[in-house]
Amino acid sequence: MNLLTEPIGISHYLAVGAVMFVAGAVCMATKRNALGILMGIELVLNGANVNFVAFSSEYLRSGPRASLGLDGQLIALFVIVLAAAEAAVALAIALNFYNNHATIDVDRADDLKG
């Protein structure tokens, strides 16, 4: 299956979501800056959101089992809210961390090492 030749369908959305997810994950794994990681998280979440929305779209899917209604959109909204809350908490942690260690390098934050 060639995505470039296909008409826009669910697969394309999924591909975008996957790319965003992977980019976010890589970002989380590689960034040493806490803010960078936060950005990665946003990417991951939004990648997931794209998937939810795509699966839930009436236009993209058809068939007897396609009637998900507004579930996908609803979950996406939840995720957004969650991300906002998460970002607020995470930023607060980052600020506190900075206050204590004068850096936001996550590799230095190993106090919970077992």
Partner 1 sequence: MDLASTLPTLLGAAWLLPLASFVIVWLFGPRLGHAGKHAGYVATGAILGSFVLALIALLSWTGKHGVFVEAHHDESHAGAPTAPPRSESSPSKSPVQFRLVAAAAEGEHADYAHYDHEGKAYYTGDWYTLAKFGKLQLTIGYYIDSLTVVMFCMVTLIASCIHFYAQGYMHDELHDVEDHEVTLSDGHHLHRRGRYHRFFQYLSLFCFSMLGVVLSGNMAMTFVFWELVGVCSYFLIGFYIERKSASTAANKAFIVNRVGDFGMLIGMMALWSSLGTFNFGDMAVEDAASGETRSQAGIFSQVRPGPSHELVVPEGMKQAAAATGSEDTERCGYWLLVIAGVGIFCGCVGKSAQFPLHTWLPDAMEGPTPVSALVHSATMVAAGVYLAGRFYPVFAPEALLVIAVIGCITLFIAATIAITAVDIKRVLAYSTVSQLGYMMFALGVGGWVAGMMHLVTHAFFKSLLFMCSGSVIHAVHTNDMTKMGGLRKKMPWTAYTMLVGCLAIAGAGIPFLVGFSGYYSKDAIIAQAIAYKEVNPLWGVTLFVAAGGAATTAFYMFRLWYMTFSGQPRDAHKYDHAHESPKVMYYPLVVLSVFAIAVAWPITIVGDAAEGSPLVHLLNQAVPDGVGSMEGAVRGTLAASVAIPSEHASHVDAIHSAATMLAFSTALGGFLLATLFYGWKYLDPAEVRNQFPQVYRFLWNKWWFDELYDALFVKPAHLLAAVAAWLDKNVLDRIIDGSAKVTLVASRYDDWFDRLFVDGLVNWFGRWTYGVGLAFRRLQTGSVRQYAMFVVLGTVVLFFLLSLFLGTAVGR
28-41 b/e (C-beta count within 10 Å ≥ 16 → b): beebeebeebbbbb
Contact residues toward partner 1 (CB under 8 A) are: 25, 28-32, 37, 40, 106-107, 109-114
In whole angstroms, the minimum distance from the beta carbon of 88 to partner 1 comes to: 18
How far is residue 106's CA from residue 109's CA, in Å, rounded to a whole number? 5
In whole angstroms, the minimum distance from the beta carbon of 97 to partner 1 comes to: 11
In whole angstroms, the minimum distance from the beta carbon of 70 to partner 1 comes to: 24
Residue among 26 and 74 whose Cβ is closer to partner 1? 26
Cβ-proximal residues to 74 (8 Å cutoff; 6+ apart), any chain = none
Residue among 4 and 111 whose Cβ is closer to partner 1? 111
